[in-house]
Each structure stands twice: as structure tokens, then as C-alpha cells.
Amino acid sequence: MKFFIDTANIDEIREAASLGILDGVTTNPSLVSKEGKNFRKLLDEILEIVDGPVSAEVIATDYDGILKEARDLADIHDNIVVKVPLIKEGLKAVRTLGEENINTNVTLCFSPSQALMAAKAGATYISPFVGRVDDISTSGMDLVSQIIQIYRNYNYDTQVLVASIRHPLHLVEAALMGADVCTMPFAVINKLFNHPLTDVGLKNFLSDWQKLNEKVENPKKA
């Protein structure tokens, strides 16, 4: 499974990349807006740090506007994946961009039928937003499972990129289902390392080691 970080914050991207487990980055207009930086400069910085797919979203919602923004974004670097909203005009643009060998990430997916349409349009990635589905008392992970099943039934190449991840269990369930990618906020990546038994076990190992040192240094006292 590929791990992407879902942020536009350079410090977080740098730290996640230093862990050696980062395969790519996803951004969205809200995440970019939070950073208050020029979008182009921000993308350049991200592309310097991570040698993998970097999703950058278009703002236009009409076919021609989406194509123009998408081509400009794709011109920046081969690793740019153009993020396109799951609307009619968006999927029309995804088809055209695919014919131009521009990679796309279809975003704001909340139903299996939407995901099927994105695959038919030739999307490189589909992004089901699991956390936001959970927020309305429906199962985000059931959505992911249905998309994976549909894509397997018809051998679609579109990769399932699980987005809007809120906690490590989302990642584990996505991995068990065989999702291709998870994009996670920095806080969730950090939580993946944690286990209380690891902390207790390590504490005990170190204190036992310290006792050995004391015995070796002061055999009579021991």
C-alpha cells in the first residue's frame, strides 16, 4: 500500500518524508489556503522534497477551465497529479486529460456509482472521503469496500486512494481491503507508530539493561 500525506504544510511533509515511508502528497484548496502561500511556489517546494505523486487541485468547474488549469499544473512537473472534482464537467475533462497522458485524481467521491463513473472516465486515482461519510452516520469503509469490489469485477486500472482518513483504524481496514493508497494527515501518520506495550516493553528493556550495567560495575553490591 502506498502512503501519501494529506497536507500542504512543508514542515509536516519534510518530517513525514524523513521517515522513509512516504510515497506521495495530496493537497486540496482548503489545505493550501491554510498555508497562505503562493500555490505555484508551494508546489515547487513539495516537489523538491517528495519524489512521488503530488496531487494539486483545479479550481475551475467548467470543462474548458478545468482543462486549462490541469494542463498548466501538469506542465510544472511529471509527478503532478491533477485533482478534479467528481462532477460531470470534471469527468469529461478527466477523459480528455487521460488522452493527453495527464494523471488525474478524482476527488470528493461519496458513492460507488460516482467511483464507477470516474473509472469509466479513465481516472488514475479515485478519492473516496471516508471520514466525511462517517460524519453523516454512514460507513466510509463500506464505500471503499464496494468501490474495490466494483473495480475488481471489471478490472479497472483506477487506483483507490482512501482519503479523509481520521485515525489508524481507517488505514488498517483499507489495507485489509486491498486499497492502493491511503492519504493521511500528519497526526494520523504519527499515531501509526504508537502502542502502549511498545512503550512499556522498551522502558523495561532499558531499565533491565541499566541493572546489568550496575551489576557489572559493582559486582559486590549486586
Q: Which of 9, 26, 104, 114 binds ligand E4P (CB under 6 A)?
A: 26
Distance of CA 62 to the CA centre of its chain: 26
Residue 28 is a binding residue for ligand E4P (CB under 6 A): yes
Whichever of 122 and 185 has its CB closer to ligand E4P, that residue is: 185
Report the alpha-carbon distance of residue 30 to residue 137 in Å, rounded.
23
9 three-class SS: coil
Catalytic residue among 34, 37, 83, 215: 83
Binding residue for ligand E4P, selected from 14, 71, 77, 132, defined by CB under 6 A: 132
Number of residues that bind ligand E4P (CB under 6 A): 11
Site for ligand E4P (CB under 6 A): which residue of 79, 146, 159, 183? 183
Shortest approach of ligand E4P to residue 108 CB, angstroms? 8
Question: Applying CB under 6 A, does 127 fall inside the site for ligand E4P?
Answer: yes
Please enumerate in sequence order all residues whose Cβ is within 8 A of that of 179, keeping only pairs 6 or more positions apart, or say none: 1, 144, 148, 160, 161, 162
DSSP 140-177: HHHHHHHHHHHHHHTT---EEEEBS--SHHHHHHHHHH
How buried is residue 147: exposed, middle or buried, by Cβ count under 10 Å (0-12/13-18/19+)? buried
Within 81-100, the residues that bind ligand E4P by CB under 6 A are: none
- Pick from 76, 87, 144, 145: which is nearest to 118 by CA? 87
Catalytic annotation on 221? Answer: no
Residue 131 CB, nearest approach to ligand E4P (Å):
5
Residue 124 touching ligand E4P (CB under 6 A)? no
Sites of contact with ligand E4P (CB under 6 A): 6, 26, 28, 107, 127, 129, 131-132, 163-164, 183
The set of catalytic residues is 83
